[in-house]
Structure 1
């Protein structure tokens, strides 16, 4: 008999630092998942808070080691990209690690204000304000600046944005400028809608920023949607960006920082296949080489890691409700949740995550399709990153449920699905469980939010109950 445990051990170098198995039950970062299931039931979303801190420390270590190794003259600053997950427990865990914040909308500024009131940040914290800004966003940025948040830095997204700050800012202010990168060749359009055109950068500085003593241009910012990958496209765009930095630096002495955005990936399969050290050192080496060629000091470097910060901290856990053989060969396992509503990137972007059975590792495995609970034909999951198939243990005949977990689901899924709002077919948001460790390493868990209720949905929809 081919057991599920044999399949996993033959396919991957297993166990890993993250995944282990004891008594045919899966552990995630040392968490006995079956114990959580017995305590809370399914479906559930799990966030393991220490993973957030360990990811931040990993990136800091990579950049600081690279700076030392290459004798790079600039400094490194880690920002968290709030749009990956706005939850308070994510923000507060991340801020334990001496980091800074990148925002993308006006409401983000109210989160920043709440964090300041709780003493989680101070007025020296960098607040990198990105995005195309409505009036409200600009107003709140200006309030922060005038209130003494000395490192609240609007990143100009188009040439007219500076006009509002010139009219309303009353104190000395740092500003940045985002450059509009070219999209990868297979994209549907050529240049990003976000940022200032390369040809407009010098004029924007010399005509709008330089003449006003209140403003100093400190940062040049860019981001490409593919993330940080070892491709000719990535290195070409980075090089182009650094050359523009050098050109601007020669006419703007106060400019001393670049923000290379986010883009560090997370594991979408059990096995790691990304060389973080190589990529970090090559980024530093590329920037240093171009700056030396141009006779310009190396800039300080900011990053805005979002998915990397929070993605690997979370898991979605489901029960297999039943199985359905729909023809001679397509066997469906039906989960007590929905991919469209709980994991929308699986539907919208064909995103894959590490998928593992949580129990019954000693059972025979079979090829299956996973079906969600909505009535939509697209509510399914039937391929993994390393394979165009999904294999899971056979559902036992002794009424002992099979549980499965999707891992590294901590970024964007609640934001995209509309946490606490209306879901397709009124499938509720699952309960959310947080797991942390005491100082002695003992695990502790608690419920952040219960499963969404029908009352909350009907209230939103305007029904009287």
Structure 2
């Protein structure tokens, strides 16, 4: 009878997988023995596997190149990184090894851009695409880039006032993009995105505010769907509406030569994850190509702004199960030595699910459990997987510590959780390490940040 945890996984999924394997009952991630990391650094522990960032950038570039070759697409492809997914220097250093561009969303982002330029990490020719709602400080920082000669700084106009706000601050010539306010899925509580300008108003906005202004060059149309790039009628319908606007605008605006389709590629959130990236890219390129042929205009260069796809699958978190509480005849609570609210805030705030696997004891029997965090908050729990409304882990034994890992947590969790600041119930931020490979392909680890100390939290609180 197959009752071991390893049997459960192998019978339920196609396992082992590219990034996950088992050796002597322990989990390996990209060939890394996670039990050795625990021995060296302890838990709770967060880690970032840096090579995965470059790997995903290269994958996307390859897929777009292949699709453009197949469809004889005459435009170019530009990969941009959405910095709000993770602003950390170690992430940007890795990202910018791959000849990519930057998308920003707030004033302080521009300070990061300037730092990267000063250290030679970001080229003077790189595109800096400035999204988001822009007011005083953000406008001032964007203008400082433009006046400083960064000709490929492109503010993406979000509303009717932003262009004039920039014009009031600079006499330099500059390029802009316009963001389309896409219509949201029917399940949303509102019909139209708060970001951007409506489909029907973009051409008239160009004719009224941009066409006869020699200081401004419209280069880009920006299109983004909040729910991501999905193979469904809603996405394809919104893309076609966007392409109609592009064609109409291109016919009266010869400087327009770029279409930014935003981000939205999903990342793996289950061992059963199945998303055909290559097909989606192929079909997007085909749709753009056909729309431009029909409209008798040149195809645009394609920009993307992948954030989660770039960095999400590089991150992970490891916890120890401290204790098992049996609250009734059916529910067993495995209590971890940290908090979901503070370390994986998306699991609490938007019910996001990550890949959850034990680090050890794969040869033991399994049981159904609930996972609880350390805070005295009823919402600090994790109760299901993406593929099933339950969690199964090796049987807990007090004498044999059980460690569990959450994977593909690299996007947003640190900044949303308030990295380096106060945490709910003053639960400290875990130790964070960086994992890389040297020239020989051997694993190297480096401590990025120690676990927060009480003195740091008390200082913030004014004690």
Equivalent in the alignment of 1:427: 427
2: CA distance between counterparts of 1:339 and 1:165? 42
Deviates further, 36-45 or 450-459 = 450-459
Q: Which range is displaced more, 170-179 or 148-157?
A: 170-179
Structure 1 unaligned residues grouped into runs of 5+: none
Q: Which residue pairs with 1:358 in the alignment?
A: 359
Quote how far apart the aligned CAs of 1:130 are: 0.2
In 1, distance between residues paired with 2:266 and 2:452? 31
Deviation at 1:141, TM superposition (A): 0.3
Q: Give a deviation string over 1:120-160, Cα, whole Å, max 9, x none.
A: 01211100000001210000000100101010010000011
3-state SS of 1:368 partner: strand
**TM-score (ref. length: structure 1):** 0.98
Q: 2:78 maps to what in 1?
A: 77
The 2-side partners of 1:134 and 1:29 are apart by: 43
**Aligned-partner Cα distance in 2 for 1:268–1:138:** 37
Whether 1:349 and 2:383 are equivalent positions in the alignment is: no
Residues 1:250 and 2:251 aligned together: yes
Partner of 1:438: 438
User: 1:167: Cα distance to partner?
Assistant: 2.0
Q: Does 1:447 align with 2:432?
A: no
Write out per-residue CA displacement over residues 270-321 of structure 1, whole angstroms, 9 at most, x where no aligned residue.
2330001110001011111111111111111000000000000011100000
Task: Measure the CA separation in 1 of the matches of 2:16 and 2:144.
Answer: 51
SS in 2 for 1:261: coil
Q: For residues 430 and 24 of structure 1, what CA distance do their matches in structure 2 show?
A: 25
**Residue 395, structure 1, aligned to residue 396, structure 2:** yes
Q: Secondary structure at the match of 2:181?
A: coil
1:78-97 matches, cutoff 5 A: 78-97=79-98
Aligned partner of 2:32 in structure 1 is 31
* Correspondence for 2:160: 159
Give distance in 1, aligned partners of 2:243 and 2:426.
49
Name 2:11's counterpart in structure 1: 10
In 2, Cα distance between the equivalents of 1:343 and 1:329? 26
Please state whether the residue corresponding to 1:89 is helix, strand or coil: helix
Mapping of 1:357-376 within 5 angstroms? Answer: 357-376=358-377
Alpha-carbon shift at residue 207 of structure 1 (Å)? 1.8
Post-superposition shift, 1:172?
2.2
State the SS of the aligned residue for 1:148.
Answer: coil
Q: Could you tell me how far 1:98 is from its partner in structure 2?
A: 0.3
Q: Give the 5 Å matches for 1:177-256.
A: 177-256=178-257
Distance 2:144 2:212 in 1: 23
- TM-aligned CA deviation for residue 170 of structure 1: 2.5
Q: CA deviation at 1:351?
A: 0.5
Residue 135 of structure 2: aligned partner: 134
Give me the whole-angstrom Cα distance separating, in 2, the residues matched to 1:429 and 1:11. 34
Question: Using the alignment, how far apart are the partners of 1:424 and 1:279 within structure 2?
Answer: 40
For 2:409, the equivalent position in structure 1 comes to 409
Structure 1 residue 408: Cα displacement: 0.2
* 8 Å Cα contact 2:272-2:387 kept in structure 1: no
> How far apart are the structure 2 equivalents of 1:416 and 1:134?
22
- Does 1:105 find its partner at 2:103? no
Deviations 1:142-188 (A, max 9, x none): 01001010100100000111112222223221110101000111100
Aligned length: 462
* Equivalent in the alignment of 2:171: 170
Moved more, 414-423 or 229-238: 414-423
Q: Is the 8 A contact 2:372 2:380 kept in 1?
A: yes
Quote the residue 2:380 is aligned against. Answer: 379
CA RMSD in angstroms, aligned pairs only: 0.9
Deviation, 1:453, is 1.2
Pick which of 89-98 and 284-293 moved more.
Answer: 284-293
Give the Cα separation in 2 of the matches to 1:118 and 1:271. 42
Counterpart contact for 2:368–2:391, Cα < 8 Å: yes
SS at match of 2:297: coil
Shift of 1:352: 0.6
Cα distance in 2 for partners of 1:246, 1:418 equals 43
SS at match of 2:452: coil
Deviation of 1:55 after TM superposition, in Å, equals: 0.3
Indicate the SS of the match to 1:179.
strand
